[in-house]
Structure 1
Amino acid sequence: LHSTFNMSNENNAGIEVDEKMIYAQKDCRIAIYLGDSTIQVTRLLQDDSEEIVQFLVSYIDVLSLRWYPSPYRNTLAVWSIEGYIEFWDESNANSVGNEKEYKLSGKMDLKFRHVDNFDFASHHLGFIIAIWDVKKEIHLYQAPDELDLNRWIRLTTIPLSMTIDDWVVWSSDRTFYFRDVPPMLIVSVSDKSFTGKKLMSYLFDSSVQYYTEELIEHPQFPYINKVQFSPVSHKIDYEIAIASEVIHVVKFKINRALEKENEKNLHLLCHETLGEDLNEYSSVSYNGCGSLLLGVPSGDFDLKLFQRGKNNKWSFFRSMKKEEFDDVETGSSNNLEKDDASESVEQ
């Protein structure tokens, strides 16, 4: 996205985009902080055209962008260097002729500085926001009323004995349909007792009480670059993909009703490793239906694609090298032979 995002609109002439663009996406909307207090939201329309809206914030630097997880409104949460989060609502063009714009609809004063980042939970939890800071704490807040984003109630603070790394990930909103699968928060942590990284899981019940345990015992992660939940809906289990020295795909199920006295609420179903020669700049991503995994190594442009087979196991499907994309750019055809694997992917 960073390298291919189209900034060729005439109205954008003269705008210099920072190499480290901060962006967030929702549906067909992509929000990017351009620098100089300017945020741009690009909506990709079905006719392949673009609808671009820019708005200014009152501070000089933006640290993070997140879309508010509501199906009823398009609201962008902007975390500023000033130590608070603002909520900007999208308004439609009206009959008077005013163009679409973003208006400030709420502000959340965090009451503390040194925040590392934030993220929202699944919608049905009641718009819970998780904020983590350098003090090894995760703060959970809830908005009781979706229409009032100036009022947030602190639910709880989760203390950690280890340093939080970059990854704090909520399970997907599939739990909205399967109420017997509690929302899970995964935290990547590290401490001085081991050289690698750990993943801690936090399962939440309906009263937002949490139950924590180490997700994988005796971790084998020298580093963790990305963690993503599978978008596939399951009734009793979770699947996550982890980008490390290889791609790890791990599946769990809940053993029983959540109990704090239990040492293990989660049971490991399988742990697969895919690919090789990844490094500390690699990444991993599911496709929308969870049937493909894309591994992105750093260095040589060689994307690794994996597919889920009929036995529910993952296997290598094909590579996509830089030369193939060069062929496409020059207009040459690059016909690939279709085998059984490609036919299953097309289906």
Structure 2
Amino acid sequence: MALLAAQMVIDNYCAAKISDRSASAMRDQHAKSHGCVDAQFIVRDDLPVEFTTELFRPGVRYQAIVRFSNGVGRQQSDRKLDARGMSIKLHGLDKPTLLRTLAPGKTRDGEHDFALSSFPVFFCKNVVDYSEFMDTIMAPHATWPERFRLVTRWFAFIARYPRQLFLFLLTGLQSLLTIRDPLAATYHSMSPFLFGEDNVVRYVVEPAGRRSNSFRWWTPFSWPKSENFLQDAMVSDLDPARPGDDVVFDFSIRVRHSANSDDAEDASRWWTAPLDRTVRLGHIAIPRQKFLMPNRLYDCQHMTFNPWNCLPQHRPLGSVNRMRLAVYLASLQVRQKLNMV
């Protein structure tokens, strides 16, 4: 999977260079950025003791960078089928993260990352499903025999994994039809994480005091004309000249009741048991700002986010997350070499 991710970065880079000689190598996933914004992450003062950790302490504040993005690994119109992403980087930690211990040269001291997407669950159950999906996606199709084999592989994948394909299409369709503004969308970690000593959770970030995007019958008739309408919406919302308060997201966890190994290993499982609960840990405040300045755009392009860049009390769980450790590092290494960073 690491090799496939690295190859995807190279292939997309070569394709981009054909039309734009100044193009840079991009992430294998979530390549198109709508913007990176300054924010403040504030833990609630009345946080229950059972959900207090080294990271989440009542009233603590962190300076943060929040990146909003599309899901695929290439630049494309916001009007195409795609997921949406939100990545959060906290600054000011005084303890090393797992990634800092495992790969010291790949992250800075004092950081903690969260990587989220616009759908509640991952479309593949585990790394076996996902590797077969990516093998099919990356299969060569330059000649007619290769195209025939590709069609055969797709039919085989659909026959074996119909639910995974349905969730994959639903992820893109839901984002396309409901999200008109990244600052009014709800984001999920999809895969499970440890929280504290024994809680298994998913992270949920949703707008506070604002109606989240939803599908209405007139949505297809109000289709935005701009190919970058998500960035346009952010620029309008965060315009310093406009009156209004900060944009605020609630940061919560979805706690799985009596979690077992399947809950940790199956990233596509819905958590809807009666005793599952959502606990708000704090909020993210994004002040009005100009975020399309050249230096911020450069930093945003080369900034790295990794779910393993976290404290041990919040380590990722399951085979999909274990795969992400290798994939993210491989993608980063190739991207930095191609960009000579």
Q: TM-score, normalised by structure 2?
A: 0.29
* Higher CA-based Rg: 1
Structure with greater helix share of residues: 2
Structure with greater strand share of residues: 1
Larger relative contact order (CA 8 Å, sep ≥ 6): 2
